Amino acid sequence: MSKTSVILIQNIVGLGGESDLVKVAAGYARNYLFPQGVAVPVTAANKRRIEALRQRRADREAHEFNTMSELSKSISKLIAVVAVKTGEDGKMFGTVTAGMIADQLKIQFDIALDKKKIHLEHPIKSLGEHELELRLHPEVKATLKLRVESTTPSVVAEAPAAAGKPVEGKDGAVRTESRGHKRAEKVREEAAATEAAAEKGERPDRKARAPKGEKTEKPAKPAKAEKAS
């Protein structure tokens, strides 16, 4: 396969950058590079263009570096939020992908970023705070704070009827009165009454009895009416 030298007019992934002189297959140059206007043949006239192409490339790369440096500073102050579906146990369905993060950067902050620049060391499978590395430029990196939230409504642990109104206790402290609080207060009162009765030798759970040796007098029955003679 014959080869030919060409001068690249713009960057081509896997081949070279603008103003680079590279060798490619003659058919590839003839059928694709030249018709697309991304490369030119190596001629005396085109060689004179190389210096101008190199200067244009240097200016463009300097602009990209400055732009990405400023973007890195801005991103470090942001917190991107991604909402996901979870089960009742709080576990996520699936993972958070670089594409999802790129979409939220565009929606929330109007930052258009190629998802390939979002580096995930491991899949994000849990809610909460995460830190990600963004590779914005060969010489510029940034750290993005990400918060993963659940869209599943939380389960209410206690019914609203169980809550009571605030009341002031004997010590002046304000407490919330509830059914459980009232029951506990009643139990404490009964226990205190039982203890007081025990100190006096009484049994509050029985009806009062007359002392031993004494009999209570029963009320006399009314006399029967005499029969008519």
Mean pLDDT in residue range 115-120 = 94
- Model pLDDT, residue 47: 85
CA distance 84 to 82: 7
Domain membership flag for residue 218: no
Please write the tens of the pLDDT for every residue from 61-92. Answer: 999 999 999 999 999 999 999 999 998 887 88
79 and 144 belong to one structural domain: yes
Query: Whole domain around residue 98: which residue ranges?
Result: 73-150
Q: Which CATH number characterizes residue 105's domain?
A: 3.10.430.100
pLDDT band at 131 (very low <50, low <70, confident <90, very high): very high
Q: Which CATH number characterizes residue 9's domain?
A: 3.40.5.10
Domain count of the chain? 3
Domain membership flag for residue 182: yes
pLDDT at 174 exceeding the cut of 70: no
Domain membership flag for residue 159: no
pLDDT band at 44 (very low <50, low <70, confident <90, very high): confident
62 and 114 belong to one structural domain: no
136 and 93 belong to one structural domain: yes
Q: Are 149 and 81 in contact (CB under 8 A)?
A: yes
Domain membership flag for residue 229: no
42 and 110 belong to one structural domain: no
Please write the tens of the pLDDT for every residue from 87-114. Answer: 888 788 889 999 999 999 999 999 999 9
CA distance 217 to 211: 13
- Model pLDDT, residue 71: 94
| pLDDT more than 70, % of the chain | 69
pLDDT band at 157 (very low <50, low <70, confident <90, very high): very low
10 and 57 belong to one structural domain: yes
- Between residues 142 and 186, the one the model is more confident about: 142
pLDDT at 180 exceeding the cut of 90: no
Ramachandran quadrant class, 94 (left: phi over 0; alpha: psi -120 to 50; beta: rest)? left
Domain membership flag for residue 136: yes
Domain membership flag for residue 210: no
23 and 89 belong to one structural domain: no
Domain membership flag for residue 97: yes
- Model pLDDT, residue 219: 53
Single out the residue in 19, 40, 71 at which a domain terminates: 71
Domain membership flag for residue 17: yes
Ramachandran quadrant class, 90 (left: phi over 0; alpha: psi -120 to 50; beta: rest)? left
89 and 21 belong to one structural domain: no
- Model pLDDT, residue 167: 52
